[in-house]
Chains A and B, each alone.
Chain A
Amino acid sequence: MAHEHKLAIFQGLLKFKSNTQKIWGVLILLSIITAVEVVLGILKPEWSMGKVLGMKILNWIFIILTIVKAYYITWDFMHMRDETKGLRRMVVWTTIFLILYLMFILLQEGGYVFDVYDDGYIKRDF
């Protein structure tokens, strides 16, 4: 079992002296991201209400920040950073591909069903 850890995050921009230090560093990062999410969620600033690709900018920010959080949890807490390329790709690529596929199909279909009820002749609510 290899015990060495890669201690740099942000593409080597931030280097930690020990694994324990890195863990606390990542905790601070995750806490800041969560705090930003909550503050944005409560304030709902005017500029973030505009729409990009059919979704509010605010929601895009939330989703991107979530993926950032997921990255650091997987890479540093679950030590994905220290695993071999093969294992990493097997786990991450498979999951991401299948989730994107599933999301696309179901959200597309959901939007279609909404349209049918909205401007079609079908009514569900009497």
Chain B
Amino acid sequence: MSTVVAEGKTWSGGNQPLQASYGKMMMWFFIVSDALTFSGFLAAYGFSRFKFIDAWPIADEVFTHFPFLHGVDAPMYYVAFMTFVLIMSSVTMVLAVDAGHHLNKAKVTIYMFLTIIGGLIFVGSQAWEWNTFIKGDYGAVQTKGGNILQFGHYVEKDGEQVFKRVAVRDFAVNTAHQERTQHERKNGLWFVSEGPLPTYTMDEVIHGLQANKDVLVRTQIINEDGEKTVLSREESINQIMKNGKVYVEGANLKVNEYGSPLFADFFFFITGFHGFHVFSGVVINIIIFFNVVLGTYEKRKSYEMVEKVGLYWHFVDLVWVFVFTFFYLV
């Protein structure tokens, strides 16, 4: 009799070998699949980087800005700040979960609120980061083969010759007579249009380069010292005249003044996908926050929902740790 009962219980879901509720376990499985999606993206990034290992942009030279500090070279500080904000909001989240275990509604409310604020700061920072990246910095010339040629000159710093970037807008010469209007559908064939014209024509860049004797061209190729190759004056002019095709400023899905367009593509895609996760995490947190305030879980005598969204929120933090490493550090 007793064995029959035990067996009946065992085979009809009577015991819980993993001692986790259905919801929590499904959240874990979702996290596994989402982790694989992200690692797919990061592995694809690694593939492209290995493919162009000698010409990949150096992250330290790309992300050098900090809000309100104009012209200050601050590589990575802002991303480090963002990482810290996200880890901090992970901490408030786990504190909310802990308060939930003690059925302490007031504390759960406060910690959930702080978590939401942390998430919003992070998403806002990412928007700023994108904006800076899209707007660009120095401008560059793209060659026929799709390579990027940047400009700079040598300056004396602590008795050493250091290569310093120069913005194209600082040396390009305006040749006013060459003004060309953008072709629009309304003033030509209705089915033909073109994108926005570059700020400078190639002629203006070439004239500027010839007029400024100290400006040199830097290519994408990384030399033995781990720095981008700087061409001689003669080669610089030759390269721009022969191969230069179009002036590019900033980055989008097609061109990227910092180097390989793939770098920008992956940046937008991976940080964008992660940012979307943070955004949806914030939305879910807000829903749970209101449920906490309304006392839904107080009535249930269980704050497990907080724990489940907590898992998701920590996962977003976990992914960021990897994105931070592979995009900004390595």
Q: Could you list which residues of chain A lie within 8 angstroms of chain B, going by C-beta atoms? A: 1-3, 19-20, 23-24, 27, 30-31, 34-35, 37-38, 41-42, 49, 59, 62-63, 66, 69-70, 73-74, 76-79, 83-84, 86-87, 90-91, 94-95, 98-99, 102-103, 106-107, 109-111, 113-114, 117-118, 124-126
Residue of A nearest to B145 (CB): A125
Q: How far is A41 from B58 in the complex, measured between Cα atoms in Å?
A: 12
Q: How far is A20 from B49 in the complex, measured between Cα atoms in Å?
A: 42
Q: A63-B325, A103-B39 are in contact. Are A124 and B145 (CB under 8 A)?
A: yes
Residues on B with beta carbons closer than 8 Å to the beta carbon of A34: 80, 83-84, 87
Within 8 A of A (CB), among B23-67: 25, 28-29, 31-32, 35-36, 39-40, 43-44, 46-54, 60
Q: How far is A4 from B43 in the complex, measured between Cα atoms in Å?
A: 38
A-B contact list, 24 entries, CB within 8 Å: A23-B94, A27-B88, A31-B84, A34-B83, A34-B84, A41-B75, A41-B328, A62-B329, A66-B324, A73-B317, A77-B94, A77-B310, A78-B315, A78-B318, A79-B97, A83-B18, A83-B20, A87-B19, A90-B18, A99-B43, A103-B39, A106-B46, A111-B50, A124-B145
Q: How far is A38 from B66 in the complex, measured between Cα atoms in Å?
A: 15
Residue among A1, A42, A103 making CB contact with B43, cutoff 8 Å: A103
The size of the chain B interface, using a CB distance under 8 A, is 62
Residues on B with beta carbons closer than 8 Å to the beta carbon of A62: 325, 329-330
Indicate if the CB atoms of A107 and B46 lie closer than 8 Å: yes
Residue of B nearest to A110 (CB): B50
Residue among A19, A49, A86, A103 making CB contact with B18, cutoff 8 Å: A86
Q: Interface SS of chain B: helix, strand, loop or mixed?
A: helix
Indicate if the CB atoms of A27 and B51 lie closer than 8 Å: no
Residue among A35, A70, A94 making CB contact with B321, cutoff 8 Å: A70
Q: Interface SS of chain A: helix, strand, loop or mixed?
A: helix
Indicate if the CB atoms of B47 and A95 lie closer than 8 Å: no
A24 to chain B, nearest CB (A): 8
Indicate if the CB atoms of A109 and B318 lie closer than 8 Å: no
Q: How far is A66 from B39 in the complex, measured between Cα atoms in Å?
A: 14
Residues on B with beta carbons closer than 8 Å to the beta carbon of A70: 318, 321-322
